[in-house]
């Protein structure tokens, strides 16, 4: 059985589908701070299976210990954590507690129970401001622009140290670029609580009339059209990367790091244009100042994941937007 922490969240729910349809037994834990049990209904419809769910907070070591006593896990895919860059700078201690201490608790219970296979969701944010592009796994890390980024960097370092002290561990660290879109069934997707910070969820809410206009955070970057460039990746492709990571770990006692992206960058204006092409909807927008902590441009080199994980992203930007919008149309109200 595979434990997925944060499994009712955006990425976790898609990873759960990918694992279950490929024959894995899955158990999800989540404290539901940024997701709801509704995701489990979508999971059941897609997979035709009941997935066991336990409401557990990673900050509660006792609850984790009981869970590991009750079930026998083969591996853990660890996605639970807080992810808002903005909030991380407002309430840093919550980010350190949930993301860093929460991971420490998980690791210590895993160690006690001799479960030493772990896939961890890190982020391209660990690379900070890129010195050159594309970004390789060997590029500099640590010069992060937010507390959120710092927590990911800290967890990566903790995992490195754990592996150095005990080579029995099998650890795969996945650095996600910008996951967007939704499952092609339209039954699960991203439902952030409150007003979204990220581009696509915000844009979808503008398209559906819930929010008035999109603010473009700067058109004066040194990119071809002046807006920020990111490596957007379809959530289904990203999820498949986790399955490949588990397969990769089956016979390797090492710690490894992989970029999960497409290798292509798109600007904010290109996203708006592609949305119009796919949906025929115009997005009202205005250009405002740069967002603090934003970088101009980032995209991945993805050859290492191709070589070692036998994984590449296949879906186009059009498919990402089509599937994301398909999900969003059915979930128009902002959750609170
Ligand atoms: P999400 O908020 O949808 O999912 C995270 C889940 O973790 C939520 O369901 C939340 O309720 C749960 N959670 C938070 N703190 C917890 C705790 N202390 N105990 C138990 N559960 C807790 O976010 P997501 O987009 O699915 O991201 C999943 C992971 O991937 C996060 O660690 C995030 O930092 C990382 N990541 C996300 C992105 C992205 O663009 N979405 C990019 C890079 C990395
Ligand atoms: C952000 C985080 C990153 C995190 C990721 C997923 C920052 C600096 N980085 O990435 O650490 O891993 O989310 O949670 O916040 N944009 C607009 N208007 C908007 C929203 C975004 O113009 O309303 C622009 C941004 O300036 C950027 C692009 O759209 O150029 C993508 O932004 P976003 O979706 O927030 O992702 P990142 O900033 O790449």
* DSSP one-letter string for 20-69: HHTT--EEEEE--SS--THHHHHHHHHHSSPPEEEE--TT-HHHHHHHHH
pLDDT of residue 72: 98
Instruction: List the residue whose alpha carbon is closest to atom 29 of ligand 2.
Output: 199
In the set 95, 127, 148, 176, the catalytic residue is: 148
Could you say which residues of the chain have pLDDT below 50? 334-336
80 lines ligand 1 (CB under 6 A): yes
Contact between 284 and 214 (Cβ < 8 Å): yes
pLDDT of residue 154: 98
Contact between 297 and 221 (Cβ < 8 Å): yes
Atom of ligand 1 minimally distant from the CA of 30: 21
Name the strand (E) or helix (H) holding 19: helix 10-21
11 lines ligand 2 (CB under 6 A): no
Instruction: List the residue whose alpha carbon is closest to atom 9 of ligand 1.
Output: 9
pLDDT of residue 293: 84
DSSP state of 174: E
Q: Is the pTM of this model over 0.85?
A: yes
Structure tokens at 135: 């970004």
Chain position carrying tokens 């050159």: 132
pLDDT of residue 332: 65
105 lines ligand 1 (CB under 6 A): no
pLDDT of residue 194: 82
Chain position carrying tokens 């070591």: 61
CA distances from 99 to 40, 272, 283 (A): 23, 33, 35
Catalytic status, residue 95: no
**Nearest residue to 14 via CA among 248, 304, 22:** 22
- How far, in Å, is the centroid of ligand 2 from the Cα of 80? 20
pLDDT of residue 333: 55
pLDDT of residue 191: 82
């Amino acid at each position: 059985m595979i434990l997925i922490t944060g499994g009712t969240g955006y990425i976790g729910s898609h990873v759960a589908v990918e694992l279950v349809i490929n024959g894995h037994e899955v158990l999800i834990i989540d404290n539901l701070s940024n997701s709801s049990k509704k995701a489990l209904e979508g999971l059941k419809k897609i997979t035709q299976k009941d997935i066991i769910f336990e409401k557990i907070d990673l900050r509660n070591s006792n609850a984790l210990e009981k869970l590991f006593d009750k079930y026998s896990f083969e591996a853990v895919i660890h996605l639970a954590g807080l992810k808002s860059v903005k909030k991380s700078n407002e309430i840093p201690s919550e980010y350190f507690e949930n993301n860093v201490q929460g991971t420490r608790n998980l690791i210590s219970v895993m160690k006690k129970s001799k479960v030493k296979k772990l896939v961890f969701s890190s982020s391209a944010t660990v690379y900070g401001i890129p010195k050159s592009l594309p970004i390789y796994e060997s590029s500099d890390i640590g010069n992060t622009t937010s507390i959120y980024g710092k927590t990911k960097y800290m967890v990566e370092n903790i995992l490195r140290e754990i592996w150095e002290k005990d080579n029995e561990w099998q650890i795969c660290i996945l650095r996600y670029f910008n996951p967007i879109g939704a499952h092609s069934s339209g039954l699960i997707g991203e439902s952030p609580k409150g007003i979204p910070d990220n581009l696509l969820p915000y844009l979808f809410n503008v398209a559906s009339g819930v929010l008035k206009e999109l603010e473009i955070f700067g058109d004066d970057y040194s990119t071809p059209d002046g807006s920020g460039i990111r490596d957007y990746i379809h959530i289904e492709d990203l999820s498949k990367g986790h399955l490949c990571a588990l397969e990769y770990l089956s016979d390797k006692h090492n710690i490894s790091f992989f970029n999960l992206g497409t290798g292509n960058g798109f600007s904010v204006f290109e996203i708006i244009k592609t949305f119009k092409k796919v949906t025929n909807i115009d997005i009202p927008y205005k250009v405002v100042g740069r967002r603090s902590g934003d970088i101009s441009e980032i995209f991945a080199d993805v050859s290492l994941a191709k070589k070692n994980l036998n994984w590449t992203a296949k879906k186009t930007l059009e498919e990402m937007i089509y599937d994301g919008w398909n999900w969003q149309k059915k979930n128009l109200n902002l959750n609170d």
